[in-house]
Structure 1
Amino acid sequence: MVLTARHAGTVAVIRLDGRLVLSPALQQLKTRIDKLIAAKTTSGLILDLSAVPDMDSAGVGELLTIHTSVTRRGLKVALAGVNRRVQEVLDITRLDGLFAICQDEKSALEHLSQA
């Protein structure tokens, strides 16, 4: 999995490219997010999953960990570009009710600006 991080204004955007499965990349994701949300200027987080074909239980666990870390800091988090297969996993695990799931980065930015 390849991680690309940037800011869109005060919102941190992380684009994931590859499977969200048990691998050393999951720990890299958590470390990268912790650094991004530690910045006082960060107001929210978007995880762009448009290039994530699927995920396993480790990926689900990592999303839960990320959600907890972000919300404990008083920030909002949104998922963008979720495909059908990943959406099914989110539905089955009931994470679809925990995360704001947006069609794309633009709609996620709009959602976070209203939150």
Structure 2
Amino acid sequence: MSRIAIANQHGVLWARTDGPLSAPVSLELETAVLEAATVGRYQVIVLDLSQSPTVDSSGVGALVRLQTALATKGRRLILANPTTAVADELRLRDLYAFFQISHDLHPDMDQEELLLASDL
């Protein structure tokens, strides 16, 4: 049973996983998001991390690979609503600024609102 949900919300690809972002879920999420973004030709991809209590090195690696792969194709990845533990792990690894991270995002927001909602 997959713990990954992917949906089209106002032309934006929203992906979410419930539970820790660790192996093998992180690899499954990475593959699913890349495939869905490519097939659907989405320009903005939101990864909702509100239900991911923790992230380990495989999860961090998957996030970095996703960011890199999408950016090289001219697409935007937004990490939405990360839990404190996930945000702290990205800061600890000096990766927080590598991503566009935003809190208080929801699927009803349109693409422009999402792109302007970056945390500083």
Q: How would you bin the TM-score normalised by the shorter chain?
A: 0.7 to 0.9
1:13-92 to 2 correspondences below 5 Å: 13-23=14-24, 25-39=25-39, 41-92=41-92
Measured in 1, the distance between the counterparts of 2:71 and 2:14 equals 16
* Shift in CA distance, 79/86, structure 1 to aligned 2, threshold 3 Å: same
Residue of structure 1 in register with 2:6 after alignment: 5
More helix by share: 1
Instruction: Describe the superposition over 1:72-102 as per-residue Cα deviations: whole angstroms up to 9, x where unpaired.
Output: 1100111111111111101011221011111
* TM-score (norm. length: structure 2): 0.83
The root-mean-square deviation of aligned C-alpha atoms, in Å, is: 2.2
Task: Please list every run of 5 or more consecutive structure 1 residues that lacks an aligned counterpart in the other structure.
Answer: none
* Shift in CA distance, 85/52, structure 1 to aligned 2, threshold 3 Å: same
The number of equivalent residue pairs is 114
> Identity of counterpart residues, as a percentage?
26
* Shift in CA distance, 113/7, structure 1 to aligned 2, threshold 3 Å: farther
Cα deviation for residue 10 of structure 1 reads: 2.0
Measured in 2, the distance between the counterparts of 1:108 and 1:90 equals 26
Cα deviation for residue 67 of structure 1 reads: 0.5
Task: Please list every run of 5 or more consecutive structure 2 residues that lacks an aligned counterpart in the other structure.
Answer: none
Runs of 4+ residues deviating >3 angstroms = 106-109
